Amino acid sequence: MTATRMCHRVEITGADAVLEVGEDQSILDAALRANAWIPHSCTQGTCGTCKLKVLSGSVDHGDSPEYTLTATERAGGLALACMAKPCSDLVVEPTGAVDDGVPHHPLRDFVGEVIELSDIAAGTRRLVVELDEEMTFNAGQYCELLVPGAAVGRQYSMANPPSERRCLEFHVKLSPGGLATEGWIFGSLSVGDRIDLRGPLGQFHIVHPQSEPAILVGGGTGLAPLKSIVRHALDNDLVPEMFLYHGGRRQEDLYDVEFFTDLAARHDHFHYRPALSEETWTGATGLVTDVVLADFSSCKGLSAFLCGPPAMIEAAVKSLKRRRMAPRRIFREEFTVAAVAAR
């Protein structure tokens, strides 16, 4: 006799959505699969962007970290949608805007075949997966790749534009001892293997045309979503002028240099400037944020898309604000190592 899986009714106020959420399913997962938008970023409980107010009912907070959901917040009825699972029927209210004017694509499970797995920089691989069916997404979003034999997933941004719906490109940095990297993508994974993934996820993206020029700053594999954004923006004439900066320590850390150099040669309004912090060469030398500061005496009237490690993001935000860029026009995506985020 098969046991019946228990579900709870969850009403999301402001989104006009009523969901059936499984006992082992997070509120965010159920909402996104039903195409009911809840603001979110990391989906791992480490960023706090998916907080919601529990108006009635009770939830299991699971592994919600104290630093993103304090005891006081829990006592006040707040929960992380990506971590919380219903213990009863619920009425919840997102703390962020549920209608941001951006097209949202339902979260779905996908299966695909690895068609490329190549080393492109020091400790960095390009992974290309051909899906069995198309995925719609916004330029800049990411997927969660499910590690075989483990009940965990790891997040990687798509580097391809949304026009390429069947073949997804990911840039993966080796993390010593990493379950997904050293133990899989840099270990046992091979071309021809079948993998499971889910997506799309995240709210770092470009969708609508904008009137102001944009500065894009990527550190390491933070280049991946920026590559998607650049290609999509150029194909659809979304940004009047773009300045892409890619930071690395040494030349061996840079990749896709020829691709972006050629792109800049073919588009007068796209500019590419890689920078190295630990090696003198013919290009820009220094921290990538310092290179940006040297190039722009004022950033007033511009926007920015930032992606990379937290320290780079923090430095870039401070630098751009110092140059008078409006904070609301600074969009960011932090790349963190899974083990660090868990701590």
- Whether 268 and 290 map to the same domain: the answer is yes
Q: Count structural domains, the chain.
A: 3
Give the closest residue to 242 by CA, choosing from 229, 252, 254, 253: 229
Average pLDDT over residues 7-23: 83
pLDDT of residue 2: 41
Q: Tell me, yes or no, whether 323 and 219 share the same domain.
A: yes
223 lies in the same domain as 333: yes
Percentage of the chain beyond pLDDT 90 is 67
- Report the pLDDT averaged over residues 40-57: 81
pLDDT at residue number 187: 96
Same domain, 230 and 328: yes
CATH code of the domain in which 230 resides: 3.40.50.80
The answer to the question of residue 207 being in a domain is no
Residues 184, 267, single domain; the answer is no
Same domain? 235 vs 129: no
pLDDT at 214 over 90: yes
Statement to judge: residues 232 and 322 lie in one domain: yes
Of these ranges, 38-42, 200-204, 208-212, the one predicted with the greatest mean pLDDT is 208-212
Residues 280, 242, single domain; the answer is yes
Residue 1: inside a domain, yes or no?
A: no
Residues 232 and 284 in one domain: yes
> In the structure, what pLDDT confidence band is assigned to residue 152 with cuts at 50, 70 and 90?
confident
Q: What CATH number did the domain enclosing 166 receive?
A: 2.40.30.10
Q: How confident is the model at residue 190 (pLDDT cuts 50, 70, 90)?
A: very high
Buried (b) or exposed (e) across 24-47, using 16+ Cβ within 10 A?
ebbbbbbbbbbebbbbbbbbbbbb
Same domain? For 220 and 271 the reply is: yes
Q: What is the mean pLDDT of the chain?
A: 90
In a domain, 102, yes or no: no
The reply to whether 218 and 294 lie within a common domain is yes
User: By residue range, what is the domain housing residue 267?
Assistant: 214-342
